[in-house]
Structure 1
Amino acid sequence: MSINRRHFLTAAGAAALGVAAPALRAEAAWPNRNVRLLVPYTAGGSSDIIARLVSQPLAEALKQTVIVDNRPGANGNLGAAMVVQSDDKHTLLLCDLGALVISPSVYTKLNFDPNKDLRGVSMLAYSPHILAVHPSVPANTLPELVALSKKERLNFAVTAMGSAPHVAGVAVEQATGAKWEYVPYKGGSQAVTDTIGGQTQIIMNGMLATLPYVQSGKLKAIAVSKRSRMPQIPNVPTIAEQGVTDFESGTWQGVVAPLNMPADAVARLSKELARIMSLPDIKSKLNEQGAEVNIMAPEQLDPFLASERKRWAQVVEKGNIRLD
């Protein structure tokens, strides 16, 4: 090869690198468009409430519009699949992570694997379940409700079959011998509405979305699913206090992203979300409604989800809960 030709190729290579460098920098400049915060449930539920609380401060931090997009269906799996299949690197999933880890045990057919196709970004909050009934139900304690369930049909509203509240209800059944009929909905808000209206008699739902109706007397609280009582309703005993030792369940709201989300974007998101959830105004609004800010970074979140997956898989197997 002649010296002149070698010089030409070297110059051409340098020019190509010079063109590629700005393109690489543009790719790294995340976010460079609107960010979509997909909530796979109907409006008014726990995940939706938190999504709308964080969307504006997150938009200010990222200097991009953050759009809350409700896509309910199939117990959140429809929206989760949309996030997995997205290739824009700007679509995130905010959901009940407990439901997400339960799905592989419940569903015989999923077109994605939440354990492998999504990466943790941040846990945001924990809201224990409230086990509540329509005020007309003649039971004020869990033992009384269990006894009543053996005498007459009680319809138990759940956000969806295979959801975290459903599986928690099954766990209570298994521990107490209760018998009730599950009525599935497309989200917690409609389940609450129908229980208030008397179409269903029992509900187990996240405290964040349910507490206002207990406080107003539209629902009667029987128990909370945390191991200690909640200060917002100190007279309501826990499920554990009423005979189901060490019982705990709830909704764990968090954010996950598809695997193609850049690592630096995940790190930035995790940091910003932790900061936003620690803002006094955000914490105050959540605490008033019975939710606790509970931050987990990706390195903490993934082991937690693995332990939850194992715990609830045992309940699913014992209860023979299987859905297509």
Structure 2
Amino acid sequence: MIRQIVRRRTTLGLAAMPFLSRTGQAQQPFPERNPRYIVPFPPGGLTDIMARLVAQKLGEIWNRPVVIDNRAGGNALIGADAAAKSPADGHTLLAITLTHAVNATLFPNAPYDFRHDFSVISLLGSLPLAVVVNAEKNPRDDLPALVARSRRDRLNVGSSGTGSPPHLGLELFRRVARAGENIVHVPYRGGAPSVTDLAGGTLDMMVSNLPECLAQIRGGRLRALAVTSAERHPLVPEVPTVREMGLPELEITNWTAVLTNAAVPPAILARLERDVMAAIGDATVSQRARDGGFQVLGWDSVRSTQFVRAETERWATLVTEAGIKPDA
């Protein structure tokens, strides 16, 4: 019964996290062994980079190395499932992104319940997407011109996979443009190959994670028509926002948060929250994250839980209305 009460108080679906914030440090030593930080994506990606920055600092705080465990595959389900089934002692952390919030609707028969099997420790950071086109094929179009073109012509639009943030950005563009079947989704296994094909002229446009296309923008092979954040991004300050271009409906940000098993005792959750926020708040960690394109957030568990829950519901509506289905 006690275990059930703790579980109900610490799930994504309930705003009971103030209880955790008021709880003191765990009575037992923590951590008792080397913690594991599961990243459900390959090494070298955006989520992996942020996780490694935070893990290194946590290792210094705890005087124990935090082991990064890359569990890629299954549309990020494999790693999340491993975390959901981990011992409820706080020694297993999970890196998530917007993809996991989408998966809650995209995969209704997933082997875990995203809304109830995890506690959110902190929202670490966010980054915008960019509407990008091939510079040689589109030397002058702005975003409204691209919208107009999509109503006339067929456009092949790449993404890093079904249900990924670039795919969601594409679906928002389809809605705003009212382009219907003129927008043809071409899913890839990751952002890098799709950006390469756009730079090579195979694709017509993308709504890409900004860091994944930044080198091609700076190299002149791609043109960024707008960023999807509320404000301009310091790495591309010359690029307007979608709101500036008259299309606020295209606002979308990717983000990463750190979670743990929902049944972890409240005192350990409070310790995790305190130490993770200290790690992301470290000046060196924050600067390196910003250099990688992130807006550093480091929110507490209450605010982070509310955000992840809202994102899960927001994108459930789009997934359902757009009829997005997992790849066969």
TM-score by structure 1 length? 0.83
1:76 matched residue in structure 2: 76
Cα 1:181–1:43, aligned 2, differ >3 Å: closer, same or farther?
A: farther
2:54 match: secondary structure: helix
Q: Which amino acid aligns with 1:274?
A: M
Deviation (angstroms), 1:153? 4.1
* 1:314 and 2:317 matched: yes
Deviation (angstroms), 1:251? 1.0
Residue number among 191, 194, 205 corresponding to 2:194 in the alignment: 191
1:92 matched residue in structure 2: 93
Distance in 1, matches of 2:283 and 2:215, equals 21
Residue number among 221, 241, 250 corresponding to 2:244 in the alignment: 241
Give per-residue Cα distances to partners, 1:6-32, cap 9 Å, x unaligned.
xxxxxxxxxxxxxxxxxxxx9932222
Distance in 1, matches of 2:200 and 2:64, equals 41
Q: How is 1:127-276 mapped onto 2 (pairs within 5 angstroms)?
A: 127-138=127-138, 140-178=141-179, 179-276=182-279
Deviation (angstroms), 1:50? 0.6
Cα 1:73–1:153, aligned 2, differ >3 Å: closer, same or farther?
A: farther
Conserved 8 A contact 1:45-1:189: no
1:5 matched residue in structure 2: none
Conserved 8 A contact 2:136-2:221: no
Q: Which amino acid aligns with 2:54?
A: V
TM-score by structure 2 length? 0.82
Q: Which runs of 5+ in 2 are unaligned?
A: 1-25
Cα 1:280–1:247, aligned 2, differ >3 Å: closer, same or farther?
A: same
Q: Which runs of 5+ in 1 are unaligned?
A: 1-25
Percent identity of paired positions between Structure 1 and Structure 2: 31
Aligned residues: CA RMSD: 2.4
Deviation (angstroms), 1:88? 6.5
Distance in 1, matches of 2:192 and 2:96, equals 14
Q: When the two structures are aligned, how many residues end up with a matched partner?
A: 298
Deviation (angstroms), 1:134? 3.0
2:102 matched residue in structure 1: 102
Give per-residue Cα distances to partners, 1:165-214, cap 9 Å, x unaligned.
21222012101124322222333344334434444443323324433432
Distance in 2, matches of 1:306 and 1:224, equals 24
1:38 matched residue in structure 2: 38
Distance in 2, matches of 1:185 and 1:265, equals 39
Distance in 1, matches of 2:62 and 2:188, equals 35
Deviation (angstroms), 1:117? 0.8
Conserved 8 A contact 1:92-1:256: yes
Deviation (angstroms), 1:145? 2.3
Cα 1:290–1:118, aligned 2, differ >3 Å: closer, same or farther?
A: same
Tell me which of the two structures has the higher relative contact order, counting C-alpha pairs closer than 8 angstroms and 6 or more residues apart.
2
Distance in 2, matches of 1:38 and 1:201, equals 35
